[in-house]
Amino acid sequence: MTYTAHDIAILFNANIIGCSSARVHNILPIEKATENCLTFLANEKYLSFCATTNANVILISSKLFHKIIPSFHKTYIVVEDAYIALQQLLQLVQQQRTIEYNIHSLSCIEHNTMIDKNVGIDAFVYIGSDSMIAEYSHIGSHTHIGKNVIIGRNCRIYSGVHIYDNVVIGNNCIIHSGVVLGSDGFGFTKQNDGTYLKVPHFGNIIIGNDVEIGSNTTIDRATLGSTIIDNGVKLDNLIHIAHNVVIGENTVIAAQTGISGSTIIGKNCMIGGQVGFVGHISVADGSKINGKSGVTKSIKIPNMTWDGNPVQPFHKLKRQQILMKQLIEKY
Per the omega criterion (within 30 degrees of 0), is the bond before 313 cis? Answer: no
CA–CA distance, 37 with 294 (Å, rounded to integer): 46
3-state SS class at 242 = coil
CB count, 10 Å around CB of 106?
Answer: 10
Q: How far is the CB of 72 from a second copy (least distance, A)?
A: 27
Q: Angle at the Cα of 166 (from 162 to 168), degrees rounded to 5?
A: 80
Residue 255 CB, shortest distance to a second copy, in Å, is: 4
Q: What are phi and psi of 53, to 5 degrees?
A: -60, 150
Q: Which is nearer to a second copy, 23 or 142 (CB)?
A: 142
Q: How many CA atoms are closer than 13 Å to the CA of 167, on its beta-carbon side?
A: 25
Name the minimum Å distance from CB 260 to a second copy. Answer: 7
Q: Which is nearer to a second copy, 120 or 232 (CB)?
A: 232
Helix (H, G, I), strand (E, B) or coil at 93: helix
Strand pairing report for 226-229 and 188-190: unpaired
Picking from 41, 5, 39, the residue whose alpha carbon sits closest to that of residue 22 is 5
Residue 89: strand pairing partners: none
Contact 207, 165 (CB under 8 A): no
Residue 226 Cβ vs a second copy, minimum distance, rounded to whole Å: 10
Nearer to a second copy, 66 or 195 (CB): 195
Residue closer to a second copy by CB (options 19, 238) is: 238
Q: Which residue's CB is nearer to a second copy, number 66 or number 94?
A: 94
Catalytic residue among 25, 240, 243, 280: 243
Nearer Cβ to a second copy, position 124 or 304?
124
CB of 130 to a second copy, least distance (A): 14
For residue 96, the minimal CB distance to a second copy (Å) is 12
Contacts of 103 (CB under 8 A, 6+ apart): 109, 115, 119, 120, 121
Instruction: Report which secondary-structure segment, H or E, holds 324.
Output: helix 314-330
Dihedral angle computed from the Cα positions of residues 158, 161, 164 and 170, in that order, rounded to the nearest 10 degrees: -30
Is 144 among the catalytic positions? no
Residue 165 C-beta: closest distance to a second copy, Å: 10
* Beta strand segments in 223-278, E: 226-229, 234-235, 240-241, 246-247, 252-253, 258-259, 264-265, 270-271, 276-277
* Maximal CA-CA distance, the chain: 84
- The torsion defined by the Cα of 127, 128, 129 and 134, in degrees rounded to 10, comes to -40
Q: In terms of CB distance, is 113 or 215 closer to a second copy?
A: 215
Catalytic residues: 243
